[in-house]
Amino acid sequence: MSNQNKSAEEDNCECFTRASNKPCPPIRNVTHPLRYYEFTQDELKALEECDKESFYQRCLPFSTLFASLTYAAIKFGFTKRDPNFGVVPKVMLSALLGHVYGRLTYIAECDEKLRKKLPGSSHLGRTMQNYYNERNPPPKI
């Protein structure tokens, strides 16, 4: 870092400390180690497969179920319809919630699939396997 940039940062910090009566925050370089990672073709294929399966196996059924139940609840008088827009806002919101719920319930299966399906040369597969092993150590006998 050049002296000019350093002095500018110190001036900003001094101004900050005078205004708030607090010490300067530490300067950190926050760069994620996988920031410039490029996925391999196998990884992209596995991620796309997870995306499709989660949509067709979870999101679509849950969205349909939630929207149908909401419409039935409005039709049979359990909830009121909106005076200006009718049933549309509540049905759309319940379909959106069904979609989100479907994605969330498929995360564990997708995680397992990526850990086991990706080849050993895959950095993503190794990283996910290491993360899983750190959080789920084998039982001690």
CA pair distance 71, 17, nearest whole angstrom: 57
More confident residue, 2 or 114: 114
Average pLDDT value over all residues in the chain: 83
What is the model's pLDDT at position 119? 85
Helix (H) or strand (E) holding 27: none
pLDDT above 70: percentage of residues in the chain? 77
pLDDT of residue 25: 62
Checking if the pLDDT of 125 tops 90, the result is: no
SS3 86: strand
Beta bridge partners of 86: 82
95-114 per-residue burial string, b: 16 or more CB within 10 A, e: under 16: beebbebbbeebeeebeebb
pLDDT class for 16, splitting at 50, 70, 90? low
| Confidence band, pLDDT 50/70/90 cuts, at residue 26 | low
pLDDT band at 60 (very low <50, low <70, confident <90, very high): very high
Decide if pLDDT at 11 tops 60. no
Residue 77 or residue 28, greater confidence: 77
Which comes out higher in pLDDT, residue 81 or 52? 52
Say how many C-beta atoms besides its own lie within 10 A of residue 58's C-beta.
Answer: 20
Q: Which amino acid is at 48?
A: E
Structure confidence at residue 141 (pLDDT)? 76
